[in-house]
Structure formats: C-alpha cells, structure tokens
Amino acid sequence: MQRTKVKDLLTGAEAGKEVLLKGWVRTKRGNKFVSFIAVNDGSTIHNLQVVADTEKFSEEVLKDVTTGAAIAVTGELVASQGKGQAYEIQASAIEVLGKADPETYPLQKKAHSLEFLREIAHLRFRTNTFGAVFRVRNSLAFAVHRFFNEKGFVYMHTPIVTASDAEGAGEMFRVTTLDLDNPPRTEEGKINFEEDFFGKATNLTVSGQLEGELAAMAFSDIYTFGPTFRAENSNTTRHLAEFWMIEPEMAFYNLKMNADLAEEFIKYIIRYALQNNREDIEFLGQRLVEEDKSKPQNERQEMTLLEKLEFVVNSSFERVTYTEAIDILLNSNHYKKKKFQYEVSWGVDLQSEHERYLVEKHFKKPVIVTDYPKDIKAFYMRVNDDGKTVAAMDILAPGIGEIVGGSQREERLDVLVERMKGVGIHEEDLWWYLDTRRFGGCPHAGFGLGFERMVQFVTGMGNIRDVIPFPRTPQNAEF
Ligand code: ATP
Ligand code: MN
C-alpha cells in the first residue's frame, strides 16, 4: 500500500478508506481501553492522531510506541470525535520501525529552551518550532528561485574556494592542503603558498559578487544563491561564520532600479511564505506572544508576526539618504538624552542601535538608506558626483537591522583603480575583474540579501543560530 503524508491525510480526501501512515511518535496517552498516539512526519505542523484499541494491540507492541519512535500504521481514516483534529486513524496494524528508548531520548513532551535544543541540533527538527522554521526556510528558498526565474535571471554558481577577497576586508577562512606542522617556506621564511594545492593562497568566499558581475556582463541579469563564510569573531544574534547569501547583479541598472528590485523581491518571498506556510507562521507567532508574556510591557511586540509580515508586504519601504538618516538621529530625543552608546556624526558607520532606531522608532517600517560616505563602504561602489558619497544602499528591517547591502558598481576604470589603490588592493590580483571595465563595461548594480536574516524576519526567531540547520559560530561546529 502507498503511504500518505499527514498533510494529505488531514484533508480528509481518503476518509473511509484504509490508509498507511509513517512517521514519528510525538506523544502517547490513553487508558486501559484505548491509546491515542500523535504522529508527525514533518509534512505539516499538525500531528495525526492514531487510535489503538488495547483489545487489538497487546502491551507487547504498544510498549515500544514511545515518544520519538518511528512507526508505520495501517487503518481506516475516520472523522474524529475528539477535539483538536478533524480526522484520525482507527489502527488495524502498528509496526515499530525504530524504537526510541524513553530513558535516553532527550526530547520530552515539556517545552525545551532554544538553548538546550541547540545542543541537540541533530534532533531539534522534530519539535514544532523547528519544524515550522525549516518549512518556512524551504519555502523562502524556493520563492527566491521562482522570483528570479520569472524575471528571466540566470542562476550562477560562483566559486566557494577563491583567491580574491571581495571586500578587501580580511576575515576569511584559509583553505590549504599544506602540512601545518611543517609548511614549505620561502627564502624570507614566509609560508610558500606556491606549493599549496592551487599554487596560491586561497580562502572560502565571503561573497560571490565579483564573479557575479562578470556574468552580468553577458547575461544582463543574474543571481547567485550559495554559502558564504566570514571568520569575523562576532558573537551576535545576527552573525554566522557560514551563511547563505542571495546576490543578484543587473547590467544597465542604476541605484534606484536596484532598490526597487530589492523591495519587490523581499515582498514577493514574504508573500509566498504567507500563502504557503500560514499555519507555520501562525504557530511561530503564537510562540512570540507566549514569549512576550514574560517581558515588560514596553518590550512587547506591537504587532503579531502575521500582522507584521502583512504590513511589510503592503507598505512601501521608506527611502532616505545616509545624510538624512544622520540628521534624523541627531535630532532625536533618544540622541539628546544620550541613549545611543555609539557616536553619531556624518562619516561614521551606522551601528545596529542606530539602524533599529530608524526602523523601529522613527519610521516604523523597512527603510532603504542610500548614498553612504565612500570611506565606510567597499571599493567597488560607484562614487557619486559630490565626490564624498557612493551609490550604496542598505535595507534595514524591524527587529533585525541590516538585511540587504547593495550598490551601483563603479564602472569607470580610472575611478575604480584609484579606489582600489586607496584600500591597498593590487590591480594584478583583480585583473579579470578590471577587464569588465575595459571590454564592454556598462552601468550596473546589485545587492546581497543575507538569507538567514530573512528567515529570522519571517519566522520571528530572535537568534540566527535557530534558523540554519547546523550553525557555525566561533567555537562551535559540532554537527
Ligand atoms: P553587518 O554590518 O550586519 O555585519 P555587513 O555589512 O558585513 O553586515 P554585507 O557585507 O553587506 O554585510 O553582506 C550582505 C548581507 O549579508 C547583509 O546585509 C546581511 O544580511 C548578510 N550578512 C552579513 N554578514 C553576515 C553574517 N556574518 N551572518 C549572517 N548574515 C550576514
Ligand atoms: Mn559584517
């Protein structure tokens, strides 16, 4: 017999028929006459209830039907008399496929803390919360591809091992096959990377952008969606050492077109999740409501998760220049009361507290900040006519801060080379990148969306470690 997934069984399409269910036991309760077994197979947040009359099933079989065990159940799908579910299975046969010793199985019926669940990341998929989070993550990933595919963008796989440092900022993971105990040395005593696997020093990529630009100079519109790595030692709720990034790059786009695309894209993928994962999002929203009850009034959410997401897809993002943003901050009561920890003045980078003030207190919606001072932004961003700012844009989201970083790129060879000199990047190292400015260069733009920050936003999860299956952070790569 064909197995049917819980999600499909719950529609009742097979009511009155014999069905086969396979999944993992969430709970078992009951009395002398009957056992109620809640089974989940990951297809939905809901469990399917299995009713097993003790007349039919010996204690011998039922004793192994414990929380965490994998079972197969055959029986009739019937309308449920009990509360909480429309359909249930009246079991005629139960097979235990994999036992889970109740003495040692770490997931109990009681709610576990997210911190504890991080320590058993190999099992946390089996909780309601992580089931919901990773189904939403899956939908968002699918929506990313669908959005760009509908627009005729070409999906590019940019390299993971690279000899270039896109940001010129360091913080990369070295990739090497050299013997670390006894590396080959140059005459000056430095490590000789010419003898390394690739004949030069290589790292894990921090961004696919530079290679993405090369492809945009042929396909017009491309995007990447892959893992990126940053060895920054920042133990925050928004940083991972390994995260996934989506980086579209478009020929003939200016900064405004870039911002328009990013806004449309973000709304599209949120809308897709709202349509396809409503129950998961409702569940996650309820989690936040519960969490809020233990917080002081002024720290509670003003909107539920669903309301927040609906609001974001239906409102237009605020657009301000960096200069305007600094003015807003300087004129705020928050600033006057000296509540910002970090300095606010034209030329300094916006800190997370500033970004959150703009988004959560001042505008109360996502904000696109443009035209940052050139000294705090990457070398490839196009220098504006004022000579002081670049055509950069960051998109700031409530509760998260920066979710997108992008820019119009510097297409003028001389200006670009000058900027590279300024930050100490050698022309010879990026000769291939500069070639696009030599041969058929054109105005172009792109951005990077941190996928996990997006998943955080849609699921309302406070810590980025809880939206990637196996987080890599300083001192942590267990699973
Ligand atoms: P931040 O200031 O928050 O560290 P950034 O300026 O380093 O971000 P970019 O280099 O512009 O970020 O990267 C593009 C996007 O990638 C960011 O907008 C963010 O969404 C995401 N991102 C950057 N660093 C991380 C990280 N360590 N973990 C997860 N996502 C990240
Ligand atoms: Mn960073």
Q: Tell me: pLDDT of 399 over 90.
A: no
pTM of this prediction? 0.95
Kindly report, residue by residue over 289-332, the tens digit of the pLDDT: 999 998 888 888 888 999 999 999 999 999 999 999 999 999 99
pLDDT of residue 98: 97
Pocket test of ligand 1: the residue of 266, 353, 377, 453 to mutate, having most ligand atoms within 8 Å of its CB, is 453
Q: What is the mean pLDDT of residues 413-442?
A: 94
User: Residue of the nearest CA to atom 30 in ligand 1?
Assistant: 450
Strand partners, 389: 373
pLDDT of residue 280: 98
Note whether 242 and 473 are within 8 A (CB).
no
pLDDT of residue 59: 86
Backbone angles phi, psi at 73, to 5 degrees: -125, 130
User: Residue of the nearest CA to atom 4 in ligand 1?
Assistant: 239
Reported as type and span, the H/E element at residue 87 is strand 87-98
Ligand 1 and 206: CB distance under 6 A: no
Q: Select from 474, 441, 405, 1 the least CA-distant residue to 240.
A: 474
pLDDT of residue 165: 60
pLDDT of residue 58: 85
Ligand at shortest distance from the CA of 401: 1
Can you tell me the distance from the alpha carbon of 60 to that of 160, in angstroms, rounded to the nearest whole number? Answer: 53
Confidence category of residue 215, pLDDT binned at 50, 70, 90: very high
Can you tell me the distance from the alpha carbon of 207 to that of 228, in angstroms, rounded to the nearest whole number? Answer: 6
Relative to beta strand 221-229, strand 202-204 is: unpaired
Q: What is the mean pLDDT of residues 268-288?
A: 97
Ligand 1 and 450: CB distance under 6 A: yes
Confidence category of residue 281, pLDDT binned at 50, 70, 90: very high
Q: Tell me: pLDDT of 48 over 90.
A: yes
pLDDT of residue 459: 98
Structure tokens at 89: 């299975």
N- to C-terminal Cα distance for the chain? 36
Percent of the chain exceeding pLDDT 70 equals 99
Overall fold of domain 126-171+206-466:
BirA Bifunctional Protein; domain 2 (3.30.930)
Q: Tell me: pLDDT of 136 over 90.
A: yes
pLDDT of residue 167: 56
Q: What is the mean pLDDT of residues 90-116?
A: 93
User: Does 6-107 match 126-171+206-466 in CATH topology?
Assistant: no
Helix axes 431-438, 413-423, angle to 10 degrees: 160
For the CA of 394, the closest atom of ligand 1 is 18
Kindly report, residue by residue over 457-468, the tens digit of the pLDDT: 999 999 999 999
Relative to beta strand 48-53, strand 87-98 is: parallel
Ligand 1 and 404: CB distance under 6 A: yes
Ligand 1 and 230: CB distance under 6 A: yes
Q: How far is the CA of 230 from the centre of ligand 2 (A)?
A: 8
pLDDT of residue 363: 95
Ligand 1 and 318: CB distance under 6 A: no
Q: What CATH superfamily is the domain 6-107? A: Nucleic acid-binding proteins (2.40.50.140)
CB neighbours of residue 254 within 10 Å: 14
Q: How far is the CA of 139 from the centre of ligand 1 (A)?
A: 22
For the CA of 448, the closest atom of ligand 1 is 14
User: Residue of the nearest CA to atom 22 in ligand 1?
Assistant: 450
pLDDT of residue 347: 97
pLDDT of residue 467: 98
Confidence category of residue 12, pLDDT binned at 50, 70, 90: very high
pLDDT, averaged across the chain? 95
Q: How far is the CA of 271 from the centre of ligand 2 (A)?
A: 27
Q: What is the mean pLDDT of residues 256-282?
A: 98
pLDDT of residue 145: 98
Kindly report, residue by residue over 325-382, the tens digit of the pLDDT: 999 999 999 999 999 999 999 999 999 999 999 999 999 999 999 999 999 999 999 9
Q: How far is the CA of 450 from the centre of ligand 1 (A)?
A: 6
Kindly report, residue by residue over 138-197, the tens digit of the pLDDT: 999 999 999 999 999 999 999 999 987 655 556 899 999 999 999 999 999 999 999 999
Ligand 1 and 452: CB distance under 6 A: yes
For the CA of 206, the closest atom of ligand 1 is 10
pLDDT of residue 135: 98
Pocket test of ligand 1: the residue of 393, 402, 465 to mutate, having most ligand atoms within 8 Å of its CB, is 402
Backbone angles phi, psi at 466, to 5 degrees: -100, 10
Q: How far is the CA of 299 from the centre of ligand 1 (A)?
A: 25
User: Residue of the nearest CA to atom 31 in ligand 1?
Assistant: 450
User: Residue of the nearest CA to atom 7 in ligand 1?
Assistant: 405
pLDDT of residue 166: 52
Count of alpha carbons within 13 angstroms of residue 330, beta-carbon side = 10
Confidence category of residue 255, pLDDT binned at 50, 70, 90: very high
Helices (H), 154-304: 209-219, 255-276, 278-292
Strand partners, 394: 369, 405
Rg (CA), the chain: 27
Structure-token match 């997006």, residue found = 454
Q: Domain residue spans in the chain?
A: 6-107, 126-171+206-466
User: Residue of the nearest CA to atom 21 in ligand 1?
Assistant: 450
Q: How far is the CA of 6 from the centre of ligand 1 (A)?
A: 38
Ligand 1 and 453: CB distance under 6 A: yes
Q: How far is the CA of 171 from the centre of ligand 2 (A)?
A: 10
